[in-house]
Amino acid sequence: MYRVMRSVTCADGRALTVREAGDLKGLPLLYMAGTPGSSMLYEPHIQDATAQGIRLISYDRPGYGGSSRQRDRRVADCVADVTAVCDALGIQRFCVAGISGGGPHALAAAALLPERVAAAAVLACVAPFDGDGLDFYAGMGEQNIAEFQAAVEGEETLRAMIGSQRIELLASTPSRLVEVWRTLLGPADREVATSAFASFALEHIRAGIGSSADGWLDDDVAFVTDWGFDVSSIHVPVLVWQGRQDRFVPYGHGVWLAEHIHGVDARLTSDDGHMTLARRRIPAVHSWLRNQL
């Protein structure tokens, strides 16, 4: 099973930490992690990618883990980083996938790099804050409502809020996640948050925010400001998967995206939350992406 970690230098001199795993000769799939998160990959996802002939690639977004911060970045700015990573790895054509806060970044690549992105899959994806007809906060857990409202108020307010959340996450244990995310876990996610997946989730997050909350802060601000592209401009195949029990990113976000992305394949499932998508649905996502080629 192929695994490697390296640093890629962008055109502006910033460094990005990149991880690879799976089948080195397989279909390249660039995975965008959630917020907060890192480029760490889940072992069962690696095993499935290897079995399905997929080369998994991920990178720490600016400000996370070993990647340099990029102040005032928009969602669309990730396209330069995606280009730098894939050019450094000698990859011309690839698929993208993103979960939660990684979803908008995957959609940006699909919208702005159609000559290179063959297909995109987004799970529990945040929708545009100013989306026409979208009630952004409807069905969202109180902790995330407060976080996004702080992002709207500005960096000083937001940094104070996520600074305390960061301390709590860094000090947490898997058994305490249900309490840490008390307003964000519906029934389906509560089951996952007490499973072995919780250990990976914490390790994944700590790898991103262990030294700084900058990436987390910059993600949140980017989500509530202009993304730099319109999802209606996407014309590559897109899978949108959203769970009705999700309180991190509510069901209405997935419905809105399904209604505004051209030719979308929408999976709007009643038995999923937020974490369940990462825990249970990735093999089906891998299969779907392969079938688009």
User: Which pLDDT tens digit goes with each residue over 12-55?
Assistant: 999 999 999 999 999 999 999 999 999 999 999 999 999 999 99
> 52, exposed or middle or buried, with CB in 10 Å at 0-12, 13-18, 19+?
middle
3-state secondary structure of 245: coil
Whether residue 167 is predicted with pLDDT greater than 90 in this model: the reply is: yes
Name residues whose C-beta falls within 8 Å of residue 198's C-beta, 6 or more positions apart in sequence: 174, 175, 177, 192
Instruction: Please tell me the pTM assigned to this model.
Output: 0.97
Distance separating alpha carbons of residues 49 and 3, to the nearest angstrom: 12
Two tokens, residue 203: 């390790």
Q: Can you tell me the mean pLDDT for 68-86? A: 98
**Structure confidence at residue 184 (pLDDT):** 97
Whether residue 195 is predicted with pLDDT greater than 80 in this model: the reply is: no
> 211: closest CA among 32, 17, 74, 58?
17
Whether residue 187 is predicted with pLDDT greater than 90 in this model: the reply is: yes
Name residues whose C-beta falls within 8 Å of residue 154's C-beta, 6 or more positions apart in sequence: none
**Structure confidence at residue 45 (pLDDT):** 97
Residue 194: pLDDT band (50, 70, 90) is confident
**Structure confidence at residue 191 (pLDDT):** 86
Question: In terms of DSSP H, where are the helices of the chain?
Answer: 43-52, 78-88, 103-112, 142-153, 155-171, 177-180, 187-193, 197-209, 214-223, 251-260, 275-280, 282-291
Whether residue 2 is predicted with pLDDT greater than 70 in this model: the reply is: no
Q: Which helix or strand (DSSP H or E) is residue 117 part of?
A: strand 117-123
Whether residue 1 is predicted with pLDDT greater than 80 in this model: the reply is: no
CB 56 within 8 A of CB 42: no
User: Which pLDDT tens digit goes with each residue over 104-115?
Assistant: 999 999 999 999
Domains in the chain: ranges and CATH: 2-291 (3.40.50.1820)
Out of 48-52, 81-85, 163-167, 193-197, pick the least confident: 193-197
Distance separating alpha carbons of residues 216 and 36, to the nearest angstrom: 5
**Structure confidence at residue 242 (pLDDT):** 98
Residue 140: pLDDT band (50, 70, 90) is very high
User: Which pLDDT tens digit goes with each residue over 245-292?
Assistant: 999 999 999 999 999 999 999 999 999 999 999 999 999 999 999 999
**Structure confidence at residue 138 (pLDDT):** 98
